[in-house]
Chain A
Amino acid sequence: MLRKGEKLFLLVLVVSLALVSLRQVAFAQTLEEKVNEFELKNGMKFLVVERHEAPVAFFAIVFNVGSANEWPNVTGISHLLEHMMFKGTEMMGTKNYKKEIAYIGKTDELGARTIALRSEMGEWRFEAFKDFGRTVLAGFTDAEKEEIGADKFKQNRLLVEKIRAMKPLPAELTSKKQLVEQDGKNFLEMYLEYETAWGEIVRLTDEQRTNYIVNNELWETYMNNGSRMLNAGTSNDFTVYFVYLPANRMELWMTMESDRMDSPVFREFWSERDVVMEERRLSENDPDDVLDEAFNSVAFTACPYKWPVLGWMSDLRTTDRNELVEYHRTHYSPNNATAVVVGDVDLVAVKKMAKKYFESIPAQESLPALETREPAQQGERRLVIEHDASPKLMIGYHKPIHPDPEAIVFDVITDVLSGGRTSRLYKSIYEEKKLTAEPPAVYTGPGERYDNLLVISAEPRHPHTLEEVEAAIYEEIDRLKSEPIAARELQRILNQLESRMIQTLGSNLGIAFTVLTGEIFRGDWHAMFRQYDMVKEVSTEDIMNVSSKYLVPKNRTVAHRVQVKKEGTAEESAAGDEIDQQVLRAYIMSLPQEEMMAIVQKFQSMRSEAEAMEYANELWEQAKAAGFVKDKAE
């Protein structure tokens, strides 16, 4: 629910995945023996580790569903559901559920109507009306604005009134063909109905809140009981709900989690959907998210990792509450859930309480396994993203997933390339060639359960270019294929695996993440305890073979993010004078033929207008220096 926590959690998972493992030392044995596993009659699995250092315990429930389980029209629904799971149940978050339910019915009806209206208008009309609406809003008098304040119901009511009073309609609307009317349909009326319906949803939801809703009772109850790290996260592969509590609050967790698994109520759906759309917009303004999203959508052809966890905006705004109810029923069944409890708890008590609270929740038919596989890539894919942010590079190679033994080789390759200050990309790209201001990052993404990628990302340090950094990375990749890595490099990775595992055992969170990682990504928590031995089996030949097989141009996707500022911004107009194409051409023609050819070739090799503009500016400066440009004052 909170972005920060979510990212942190996923980061910890990914880090522990890459690093966690065990040697047959006493510690490993103790942890593997300490994990207690039991299953309820409805198929819900529990993993419990007792650790009595402090009177606290970490609780998590993972549902085996993420954005990879979605389909067109409902992308983003897993994440939307995660938000809605905090809205309460029949017992929590309400003063009287039976009376409140009438509001849910009414707002659902209106909400469905807005979706239908927008679809019937068509996006082009809707956008045109919305733009027009904005100009009408801007024309409200101060007194009207004062009266409206932050009230959307009043705002929309006045907006609709004003537009209805416009007779005749302004040319802005009537001049566009088929905008207002076509085939006897009045689309402006539809738009007005749409805005009215939205105002009404807001008004009804406000009334529902005033009369029945106990705001955020679930969240607040955890907080009042002293919770830490209360949060949830959705990834491509799974959805997790977790909380760290004083150990004596176990029954609180059992009560609230079984309650929301059994009978959640997705109240305030329409306003929360707005929040999620705002979260999506937040990510559209985040240059790294923008790059990531485009990169995945190009790198994958069939695998559902091709769409973002947040979903596409157009899918979010056409998702209604009933779709969510059905998605919850099918995907949040006890037989699709695993709970993890680590800390100052007693196994017998956990078992007893788990049975009491969770066992009566009915199992659902099991979901069909996702069988779509990514077809072999047939050639390099390249893309350019233009954004108002400094340049960044991403390179991704398709790779096998666990338990394929080649996936373990990739774990080792990841470490050789980027695991610390002695790793290869750190040393060559960052330290020696000084091409970047941060060491390049290497990781597996965007998920772990289906066909995924080895991703390398880096940000060039000015004046170095994306091309330079890209070429330098390929040099290191090629070294993996041609030179065996040193025995010491492999031993370092083993030593680090062992030490991280020991470290992990010293905290409830560390233990919980290890067990969860194995369970979620490998389908079996025991897998984490086999990893050390598997890494030990990896030979220098394996690394050369796997690199030669997968780390090839044909199998890669490369994204460049180039900086483009919006036209006409203060910065740009201040930055330089306009290029006179005639003059620039005269300058280029005046150069020796080789130089001229080089310039032409460079332009031809460019992949974006921005890149070309940047180079043109550079040439313009040269032309000025060569005296080709006359000062305007002259």
Chain B
Amino acid sequence: MKTKVFISVLAVMLAAAFASPLSAGRKHPSELKYPDLKVNVPGVLDISFANGMEGFMIEDHEIPMVNVVILFKTYFPAREKYGLNEVAQWTMRNGGSGKWPADKLNDELEFLPANVEIFGGDLSTMVFVNCLKKDLVEVLGIMADLVTDPAFPEDKVTKKKEDMIEEIRRRNDQPRDIMNREFSGLVYGDHPYGWETSEASVSAITREDLELFHASYFCPDNALIGISGDVTKPEMEKLLGDAFAGWEKAEVSIPEVPKLGDTPPATYNYYYKDISQAYMAIGHLGINSNNPDRCAVEIMNFILGGGSFTSWITTEVREKKGLAYSAGSRYSSDAFAAGTFMAFAQTSAGEYSRAMQIIVDQIAKMKTEGPTAEELKKAVDSYLNSQVFEYDSKAGMVQRLLNLRFEGRPLDTPETDMKKYAALTVDDIKAAAAKYLQLDKLTILVVGDKAQFDRQLSEFGPVNEIEPGK
């Protein structure tokens, strides 16, 4: 071993002696000058139909394919039937329609081939079509049939419910899933954003519930449509008009998402899992997308823990201390209520308290010191310079517009955001940190095996032990 050490020292000395100063004519990147970028923003067309359906379209003739997305606004089911939307969305697609029973439907779509998928969350359901242009008439017909006349066959409904119950059985397998789920439950409390499916809630769902779900939301005046691909607007007006002929408007009333209360008081929470690491989540409720300080909060979080390796939390926990493979923070906004702020790390159980302290210290530092002007500039540059990627995918552009319309936000949000990022000052970030990082209301959750912890969570405060769910 001695010899090896000696050689290693020698090798380093030799390397230093022969180190060629900035060899091969490379200049430090800060000295590079870049040519101007020419950005041709693809033209977006508005498209609307007599039955009330409306949306956006981008013609794109590079390849002979077409993408169509239709978004329907939906709403939470009763809590005792939570999971209903997922069962409905799945069965609309996988149960087929009167004209297209499941087996025939799958066989036809996969032979063409074409994709028709239906999925979503609580507040929206998306119908997604992707096919070769030559098959467009047929595929739009199939899609329209599924949307207007789903069969909801009993055996498929049962199948989906059983599968979801199995998923519930399996949901404590991965520590990361436990952390995300329990954290969300802790900060959202009884608000629907914190709801989870249970065996009882899934079992309570009936075929009639699905029919009611369909009847309540699936009508043209509740549909937002997005189109991109190898097709023209007049073609699409005709094709979709024909596909949905006879589809009538209907009264749709969608309730407002309930308001959230104040962020809950600070707590320490522990969830037992037999693992050699501790998974920790630290945070509180986030903000609404319409919050005028949203851009400042985004940049603030980018510097704190969102900007991966350049962010404070990652630098301190991972880079400097080598405590974790993954450490950082997310600060999300939500258009209807509020998102969440969550700092996280997965560390060796025997060192978790060091990581936890570092994270809390970084949050505090953002409030007391804030970033330097240089840190701010770098963060803002990274947002501004990546703006061109907004135009890389036409389907992506259409989807963004659709989401903004769905959320009731200005369609030029990406553009105005860029101006806001560019105008941010260090004081703006400090003000955002002061207002939107609530050090005295941190919900702290640790998933792991306390027998392996370096310090017990109870040393920091009273601990709420979460009963591991079955």
Residue of A nearest to B393 (CB): A507
Given A206-B320, A273-B322: A56 touches B309 (CB 8 Å cut-off): no
In Å, the complex CA distance between A361 and B24 comes to: 8
In Å, the complex CA distance between A282 and B326 comes to: 9
What residues of chain B lie closer than 8 Å to A91, measured between beta carbons? 22, 26, 28
In Å, the complex CA distance between A142 and B459 comes to: 9
Query: Which among B8, B94, B275, B326 is the interface contact of A3 at CB below 8 angstroms?
Result: B326
A487 to chain B, nearest CB (A): 11
Query: Which among A108, A137, A287 is the interface contact of B9 at CB below 8 angstroms?
Result: A108
Given A105-B12, A219-B308, A255-B26: A506 touches B388 (CB 8 Å cut-off): no
Stretch at the interface among A69-77, A186-194, A566-574: A566-574
Number of interface residues of B (CB under 8 A): 99
What residues of chain B lie closer than 8 Å to A320, measured between beta carbons? 8
Q: Is the CB of B275 within 8 A of A285?
A: yes
In Å, the complex CA distance between A137 and B25 comes to: 52
B435 to chain A, nearest CB (A): 26
Q: Is the CB of A278 within 8 A of B34?
A: no
What residues of chain A lie closer than 8 Å to B318, measured between beta carbons? 275
- A90-122 interface (Cβ within 8 A of B): 90-92, 97-98, 101, 104-105, 108-109, 112-113, 115-116, 119
Given A54-B392, A104-B12: A499 touches B113 (CB 8 Å cut-off): yes
Q: Is the CB of A492 within 8 A of B388?
A: no
Does B162 touch A at the CB level, under 8 Å? yes
Does A46 touch B at the CB level, under 8 Å? no
Residue of A nearest to B36 (CB): A248
What residues of chain A lie closer than 8 Å to B321, measured between beta carbons? 150, 152, 271
Does B233 touch A at the CB level, under 8 Å? no
In Å, the complex CA distance between A251 and B35 comes to: 10
What residues of chain B lie closer than 8 Å to A507, measured between beta carbons? 393
What residues of chain A lie closer than 8 Å to B415, measured between beta carbons? none
Q: Is the CB of A322 within 8 A of B8?
A: yes
What residues of chain A lie closer than 8 Å to B259, measured between beta carbons? none
What residues of chain B lie closer than 8 Å to A278, measured between beta carbons? 277, 322-325, 346-348
Q: Is the CB of A2 within 8 A of B308?
A: yes
In Å, the complex CA distance between A508 and B389 comes to: 12
Stretch at the interface among A258-266, A375-383, A516-524, A610-618: A258-266
What residues of chain B lie closer than 8 Å to A365, measured between beta carbons? none
What residues of chain B lie closer than 8 Å to A34, measured between beta carbons? none
- B373-413 interface (Cβ within 8 A of A): 378, 381-382, 384-389, 391-393
Residue of B nearest to A97 (CB): B19
Interface string of B317-348 (1 = CB under 8 A from A): 01111111110000000000000000000111
Q: Is the CB of A565 within 8 A of B274?
A: yes
Interface string of B64-87 (1 = CB under 8 A from A): 110000000000000000000000
Residue of A nearest to B166 (CB): A437
Does B204 touch A at the CB level, under 8 Å? no
Q: Is the CB of A570 within 8 A of B468?
A: yes
Does B110 touch A at the CB level, under 8 Å? yes
Does A300 touch B at the CB level, under 8 Å? no
Q: Is the CB of A271 within 8 A of B64?
A: no
Interface string of B21-60 (1 = CB under 8 A from A): 1111111110010111111000000000000000000000
Residue of A nearest to B15 (CB): A101
Does B174 touch A at the CB level, under 8 Å? yes
Q: Is the CB of A228 within 8 A of B24?
A: no
Q: Is the CB of B111 within 8 A of A492?
A: yes
Q: Is the CB of A145 within 8 A of B455?
A: yes
In Å, the complex CA distance between A437 and B162 comes to: 7
Q: Is the CB of A496 within 8 A of B159?
A: no
Does A467 touch B at the CB level, under 8 Å? no
Query: Which among B7, B35, B392 is the interface contact of A56 at CB below 8 angstroms?
Result: B392
Q: Is the CB of A226 within 8 A of B384?
A: yes
B1 to chain A, nearest CB (A): 4
Does B132 touch A at the CB level, under 8 Å? yes
Q: Is the CB of A263 within 8 A of B325?
A: no
Does A174 touch B at the CB level, under 8 Å? no
What residues of chain B lie closer than 8 Å to A244, measured between beta carbons? 389
Given A108-B8, A505-B63: A255 touches B175 (CB 8 Å cut-off): no
B330 to chain A, nearest CB (A): 13
Does A503 touch B at the CB level, under 8 Å? yes
Interface size class of A (residues with CB under 8 A): 35 or more
Q: Is the CB of A287 within 8 A of B322?
A: no
A245 to chain B, nearest CB (A): 9
What residues of chain B lie closer than 8 Å to A492, measured between beta carbons? 110-111, 113
Does B290 touch A at the CB level, under 8 Å? no
Does A315 touch B at the CB level, under 8 Å? no
Given A279-B325, A282-B346, A437-B163: A227 touches B13 (CB 8 Å cut-off): no
Stretch at the interface among B190-198, B350-358, B424-432: B350-358
A571 to chain B, nearest CB (A): 6
In Å, the complex CA distance between A152 and B110 comes to: 58
Q: Is the CB of A55 within 8 A of B173?
A: no
In Å, the complex CA distance between A357 and B32 comes to: 14
Q: Is the CB of A360 within 8 A of B24?
A: yes
Does A576 touch B at the CB level, under 8 Å? no
Does A216 touch B at the CB level, under 8 Å? yes
What residues of chain A lie closer than 8 Å to B346, measured between beta carbons? 278, 282
Query: Which among B24, B65, B322, B387 is the interface contact of A506 at CB below 8 angstroms?
Result: B65
Q: Is the CB of A150 within 8 A of B358?
A: yes
Q: Is the CB of B39 within 8 A of A55?
A: yes
Query: Which among B12, B111, B454 is the interface contact of A488 at CB below 8 angstroms?
Result: B111
- A172-205 interface (Cβ within 8 A of B): none
Q: Is the CB of B29 within 8 A of A281?
A: no
Q: Is the CB of B162 within 8 A of A461?
A: yes
Does A624 touch B at the CB level, under 8 Å? no
Q: Is the CB of B166 within 8 A of A462?
A: yes
Q: Give the interface centre of A105, A272, A491 by most chain B CB atoms within 10 Å.
A: A105
Given A255-B27, A505-B63: A224 touches B385 (CB 8 Å cut-off): yes
Interface string of A553-597 (1 = CB under 8 A from B): 000000000000110011100000000000000000000000000
Does A548 touch B at the CB level, under 8 Å? no
Residue of A nearest to B322 (CB): A274
Residue of A nearest to B453 (CB): A138
B94 to chain A, nearest CB (A): 8
What residues of chain B lie closer than 8 Å to A54, measured between beta carbons? 39, 388-389, 391-392
Does A27 touch B at the CB level, under 8 Å? yes
What residues of chain A lie closer than 8 Å to B276, measured between beta carbons? 281, 284-285
Does A351 touch B at the CB level, under 8 Å? no
Query: Which among A216, A322, A506 is the interface contact of B310 at CB below 8 angstroms?
Result: A216
Given A216-B319, A251-B34, A462-B169: A420 touches B110 (CB 8 Å cut-off): yes
Given A272-B322, A361-B24: A219 touches B382 (CB 8 Å cut-off): no
Does B371 touch A at the CB level, under 8 Å? no
Does A24 touch B at the CB level, under 8 Å? no
Does A502 touch B at the CB level, under 8 Å? yes
Does A422 touch B at the CB level, under 8 Å? yes
Closest 6 pairs between A and B when the two form their complex, measured CB to CB: A226-B385, A274-B322, A271-B322, A437-B166, A226-B386, A116-B1
Name 6 extra pairs, CB < 8 A, besides A322-B11, A491-B111, A505-B62: A223-B308, A226-B384, A248-B37, A285-B175, A287-B173, A389-B174
Can you give 29 A-B contacts (C-beta < 8 A)? A1-B309, A86-B309, A109-B8, A150-B321, A216-B319, A224-B382, A226-B387, A246-B37, A248-B35, A251-B34, A262-B23, A270-B322, A278-B347, A281-B348, A282-B325, A285-B277, A320-B8, A321-B8, A357-B26, A360-B23, A388-B173, A431-B159, A437-B164, A492-B110, A492-B113, A506-B62, A506-B63, A570-B467, A570-B468
Binding site for B on A (CB under 8 A): 1-3, 27, 53-56, 86, 90-92, 97-98, 101, 104-105, 108-109, 112-113, 115-116, 119, 134, 137-138, 142, 145, 149-150, 152, 206, 209, 215-216, 219-221, 223-228, 244, 246-249, 251-252, 255-256, 258-259, 262-263, 268, 270-276, 278-279, 281-282, 284-287, 320-322, 325, 356-357, 360-361, 388-390, 420-422, 431, 434, 437-438, 459, 461-462, 488, 491-492, 495-496, 499, 502-503, 505-508, 565-566, 569-571
